[in-house]
Structure 1
């Protein structure tokens, strides 16, 4: 299933809440600080009021990026690290949507990077997938684990009853449905690489991400970037000398680049001394995987020189 759009916050429809609580959620979503203060100061509604999914007003304000509303809710006693039924926190939502100022504010008041969603997702994994490099850097500076990994395949969980997804979903309707098939071992670097977010990849690498960390299927960040033709990502990864040899999946990044058909990707890998004479587990050379004359011309001189 491919989900279109950027996970915009839909009209909030809390269940089994009082009219005042509904108004708090509305104010948090719209960024109406005056109304939010009026409601909270009345003493008739709690700053931690939540809907039947465990969503709090702080999560809604963080999701929407309303800094002052987030601060007001915190000052009124909202639980920063409260988890809704999917495991997501306010920090997760602020990170998902790139609200770096809100992320920093949450850290100032004790937000933790340790909480995970039911699929093992964290604020760092979701920020990496959406390419929010400044948020990624901020999270890592505040204790996020650069080696975080998803545990299971994500499921279609929602932020509200209006189907606003809070898990790791593709950013546009043009994203392949295979992007949803995250398996065990998927790390932030792999996510950022497969989505083509070179700045996030750069930050993660500089902060110690394992350039050759592979998923359960044996693919690495370089392999995935090569397959999808994300050349700026390939360039960043090559600065850290990733493996160009056979991976656990029995193939190489060069094989992936040839299958992807991006000439620039192939040139980048060849320029980094990827070996076009190295066969995959099926005894196929990269040249065996294409009928493109342009790609074959790139590979054949190298093969001839290698044979000689």
Structure 2
């Protein structure tokens, strides 16, 4: 109670401070007072939109975009707001920027796109949003480094897995002939090294490939004293045992969560090797794996670190559903109480129902820490404002569409309907033509059938006469035969003939 009561309203003089604090009301007041919406701050040379992407001020970012903030503005280093959102892992802000036309192919001074930067900093959710929007996973910077090179160099296993899933190639070299596997060996990122080998066409060949300096993966591991890589190469028959250990190599965090190995889980997450909300091939997270085995300590630690309990796998199950399926009741009670956004059947939005806005709505980015420190009441108020804006915009859209039609304009829906009508008419005409063709064909067949019937009738009369004549002759011959038989019978009776 003392914490909530101590929160006092702060008046911000700078537009950048208002954006960083997520105060959309003061942002609007400052802009209305005449401050330029694209004003650059003195120290960091960021615009308000770039600060919104940096701090995760999603509501402010939307407000700035709606009011004409320059989405293409760049810092002295060549970063757009999308670059900054990728660096900070602000996936909700990244989604908003993409929807408002952000160019994800823009390169900074080193040739890096937002995709490179998200892979560098290990923000797999942000990276996934960009990949889903259609960006090239094999784009190169000025040194021919692709996102997989950055992920391998910095040990970002989750991003590496995601890039491979979206078609990134692992056998393209940079301008010095280094493959991603060379960078993983050079930096001692064992899990990334194992994953890369498990996904390359030939493990033996991958270990033998030399860069432009004549060094292979083992040479680089020796030069940079990466004993873990050396021990793995020298002491493991990788190709022989790969089949049984494939999942452990590709998803070590999930394997640790499944086994309940909390120490390994902590090491992987805290070192930035994997993201705490990492997905495996079944879209399951670390929470799903730990919940399926009832590992309460792992679940508690993951929840404390900010793991999202609302993520579903390919089967549409949350971690709580997985725990329930395997009858881990303590895990169910732990997870079920944390789930949000569940909408009861026939629930309707009511502006006066505060509880609705308390239990619904995405809490912003998933990869980055919450820097805004907003209270639950402030988050609820932000959701209410956003909903009111939706209602307002829908009403304005209806009015604009009505005005447009009354002025003689043709809307996209009208054009679509007209095309559908034209297509229907075309199909009807084609069907009518086919029907007419079938009718003519039937008439022709009926005419031929009548001709055949007449010809058959013509040939049938002589045949009937022949049959009648033959039947008469047969009858007469039969009667003569009968008479002869009678005579024979009389003569053969044995009687005496008397003459008179």
Question: TM-score with structure 2 length normalisation?
Answer: 0.41
| 2:108 equivalent to 1:117 | yes
| Correspondence for 2:88 | 97
| 2:131 equivalent to 1:140 | yes
Cα deviation digits, residues 74-104 of structure 1 (max 9, x gap):
1111122222333211011011011111111
| Correspondence for 1:74 | 65
Q: CA deviation at 1:263?
A: 4.7
What is the rounded CA distance, in whole Å, between the counterparts of 1:22 and 1:119 in structure 2?
A: 35
What is the rounded CA distance, in whole Å, between the counterparts of 2:225 and 2:77 in structure 1?
A: 39
What is the rounded CA distance, in whole Å, between the counterparts of 1:235 and 1:23 in structure 2?
A: 49
What is the rounded CA distance, in whole Å, between the counterparts of 2:13 and 2:232 in structure 1?
A: 55
Cα deviation digits, residues 195-235 of structure 1 (max 9, x gap):
11100111111111120222222221111111222111112
Paired residues of 2:45 and 2:76 also in contact (CA < 8 A): yes
- Structure 2 unaligned regions, length at least 5: 1-11, 241-500
| Correspondence for 1:170 | none
Q: CA deviation at 1:62?
A: 0.6
**Residue 80 of structure 1 aligns to a residue in which SS?**
coil
Cα deviation digits, residues 232-287 of structure 1 (max 9, x gap):
1112212212622222332221323344444542354453359xxxxxxxxxxxxx
Q: 1:33 aligns with which of 21, 24, 29?
A: 24
| 2:215 equivalent to 1:251 | yes
- Structure 1 unaligned regions, length at least 5: 1-20, 152-183, 275-308
Cα deviation digits, residues 31-66 of structure 1 (max 9, x gap):
2222112222x2512322335786311001111111
Paired residues of 1:120 and 1:149 also in contact (CA < 8 A): yes
Structure number with higher relative contact order (C-alpha < 8 Å, ≥ 6 residues apart): 1
What is the rounded CA distance, in whole Å, between the counterparts of 1:273 and 1:255 in structure 2?
A: 20
Paired residues of 1:27 and 1:33 also in contact (CA < 8 A): yes
**Residue 185 of structure 1 aligns to a residue in which SS?**
coil
What is the rounded CA distance, in whole Å, between the counterparts of 1:203 and 1:22 in structure 2?
A: 43
What is the rounded CA distance, in whole Å, between the counterparts of 1:205 and 1:222 in structure 2?
A: 13
**Residue 208 of structure 2 aligns to a residue in which SS?**
coil
User: What aligned pairs does 1:1-308 form with structure 2 within 5 A after superposition?
Assistant: 23-40=14-31, 42=32, 44-51=34-41, 55-151=46-142, 184-241=143-200, 243-249=206-212, 250-269=214-233, 270-272=236-238
Q: Cα gap change, 1:130/1:272 in structure 2, threshold over 3 Å: closer, same or farther?
A: same
What is the rounded CA distance, in whole Å, between the counterparts of 1:195 and 1:84 in structure 2?
A: 24
Paired residues of 1:113 and 1:143 also in contact (CA < 8 A): no
Higher helix share: 2
Q: CA deviation at 1:22?
A: 6.4
What is the rounded CA distance, in whole Å, between the counterparts of 1:132 and 1:271 in structure 2?
A: 33
What is the rounded CA distance, in whole Å, between the counterparts of 1:61 and 1:245 in structure 2?
A: 47
What is the rounded CA distance, in whole Å, between the counterparts of 2:232 and 2:99 in structure 1?
A: 42
Q: Cα gap change, 1:86/1:142 in structure 2, threshold over 3 Å: closer, same or farther?
A: same
What is the rounded CA distance, in whole Å, between the counterparts of 1:272 and 1:185 in structure 2?
A: 29
**Residue 239 of structure 1 aligns to a residue in which SS?**
helix
